[in-house]
Amino acid sequence: MTTHKNLLGGPDPTYLPENEDAYRLLGEESQPPAEVAAKHPTFSLAWAMLADDAFEAGRVVESYAYARTGYHRGLDSLRRAGWKGHGPIPWDHRANRGFLRCLAALARAAGAIDEKEETERCWQFLKDSSAEAYTELKR
């Protein structure tokens, strides 16, 4: 992966480590996201998938809980990867997508339960972290 020097003096992008076993369980073994989340609770993509499934089924509070879990587990992983609370979290890095999807799912579910401040904060956080993710996920 190529790292570009930030000419504006901001923090370098943060790249979460890959979890090949979790991807294999979701892909090759077609395990449900709930089973993958139970085996790999720090794997935000499984939480994002659970949040999306619950939201689509009209279970908004459940979606909110899944998204919040994946979001917080993702924040922990980002901090372990050197993130200092701000800076780019590139969408094009596969391992970052779970966290970014949880952030969008949290914004969406917060909006559905009328948590206006959290909705706005989460969408802004997503936009600040990855403009590409914001464009992709805020539809």
For 33-79, what is each residue's pLDDT tens digit?
999 999 999 999 999 999 999 999 999 999 999 999 999 999 999 99
**DSSP letter assigned to residue 28:** T
The pLDDT value given to residue 139: 79
Nearest to 62 by CA among 49, 74, 75: 49
1 pLDDT above the threshold of 50: no
Q: Look at residue 132 and tell me whether its pLDDT is greater than 70.
A: yes
- In which band, very low, low, confident or very high, does the pLDDT at 7 lie, cut at 50, 70 and 90? low
pLDDT for 2 equals 47
Q: What confidence score (pLDDT) does residue 10 get?
A: 85
Q: Are 14 and 83 in contact (CB under 8 A)?
A: yes
Q: How far apart are CA 57 and CA 70, in angstroms?
A: 19
pTM given for the model? 0.92
What is the Cα Rg of the chain in Å? 15
Would you give the DSSP letter of residue 16?
P
Measured CA to CA, the distance from residue 61 to residue 44 in angstroms comes to 18
Q: What is the mean pLDDT of the chain?
A: 95
pLDDT at 27: 95
